[in-house]
Structure 1
Amino acid sequence: MKYTVEQIMSQAFPVMPVLAVERVEDAIPLAQALRDGGLTVLEVTLRTANAMAVIEAMKTVAGVIVGAGTVTRAEQLHELLRIGADFAISPGATPGLLAEGKRVNLAFLPAIATVSEMMQGLELGYQHFKFFPAAAAGGTAALKSFSGPFPNVQFCPTGGISVRNFKDYLALDNVTCVGGSWLVPADALAEQDWPRIEALARAACFLV
C-alpha cells in the first residue's frame, strides 16, 4: 500500500519513534514492542550501517508503517523505494532533494528550520514538513508564529522533544504529530528490554 505524507503523519499521532538501530536482529522485536505499545509509524534513521536492512526487517511486522530518517541524498530515496520503505524524512532540504522528492513514488517529508526554507518547499507543492531541530529553532513559539501567514501547513517537530514537552507541541493546531527518540533509550535497546520500550510507547499514548 502506498501512503501519502498526510496519512503517515495522521497515523503517527501522537509520536513517531525516531530509531537508530545497529543490530538487524533487534528490528522485529523492537517494531513489535512499539506497535504493541500503540505506536505504529516508525522512523529508522540512516545513521547506522545496517539501517536499510533494519527497515526491510521491520517491514515484515504486521501493523506497522516503516520509513527512513536522515535522508540527505536523492539516491537514498530510490534505494528506499526499492526495499519497500513507506516514507522518507530528511533533516534538511536542498533544492535537488525537494525536486527528487516530488518525482519519486515515495512519501517524502522534508525538514525546515526557517520560513524561507518552508517557502522553498511550498513553491514545489509541499504542505507538510518536519520542523528540525525543533527546540533549537524556536520550539512552540516558532511554530505559533508560522501558523499566522501559513495556516494550511502542518508539521512534525523533532529534536529536543521529550516526554516533558511533547504535549505542548501537540496542542498546536499546525502540529499533526511529533518525532521522539526518548521512547527507545539506548540502554533499553542494548539490553533488548522490549517490555520497557513497550511501556514507554504505551505511556506516551496514555498521556495524550
Structure 2
Amino acid sequence: MNPAPVPPRAVFLDRDGTIIEDRHYLADPAGVALLPGAGEALGRLCAAGCGLFVVTNQSGIGRGYFREEDFLACQNRLEELLRPFGAAIAAVRHCPHEPSAGCACRKPGTGMWESLRAAHGLNPAECVMAGDKTEDLLFGLNAGFAASCLVLTGKGESRARELGWVLPEGRDAAECRLPERLPGMTAPGPERTRLFLLRNLDALARLLTGGAECDASRGCSPSSPR
C-alpha cells in the first residue's frame, strides 16, 4: 500500500457531475445544486491550504444553447452555495467550444491548465485533478499533475466501467492504472501522475488530508473484461 498524496498546493476540479448535479447544458442558476458532501469536502481542502480551481468544458455556449452570461450566473450561484462551507474557488476557466472546434482549451487538452499556471505560478507537481469523466482524468495526466482522480459521481460510474476500474469492497479510494493508451492522451505515460478512483469529493478530501486509506495493492488496476 503506497502512501496517499500529500495535500497539494492546488486542486483542479471539473464542475458538472463532480461538484454539482449534472444537468444537461445547465443555463439557469436555479438549477445549480451541490452534490451531497461536496461543500463540506471542498471546505476541508481549503482549510488544509489547497487552492481550488474549476476547469470545465461548456460546449453549450459554442452550440448556441446558452450564453457566456448564463455560464457566469451559474458559476456565481455555485460560489454562493460553497461560501457557508468555507470553500472559495481561486479561479475558473471554461472552454466554450464545440468538440469539433479543434481548440487547445477543451479537456483533455491542457489550455486551461496553461492559462492558470501562467496566472498563478503553479507547479504541476503540486497539483491534483478530480472529475467524473475520462477527459478529466486525462487532463491531469497530460498536464503532468501529481495525481489525477476519477470520481464515481455524475458520469463516473460508467466511465469507470469503460476503464475496467472497480473500488475494492469497503474502500472509498484506490490507486489504479490505465488498461491501455487512450485517445486524447498526449503525455508519454503516467510515470509522473498517480491515478485514483474515488467514491466522491469527500473521499478526495480525506485522501489528500490523511483521513482515508487508499488500497493500492489490490486497487482497481483493470478488472476482468466485461
Shorter-normalised TM range = 0.3 to 0.5
TM-score normalised by the chain length of structure 1: 0.38
TM-score normalised by the chain length of structure 2: 0.36
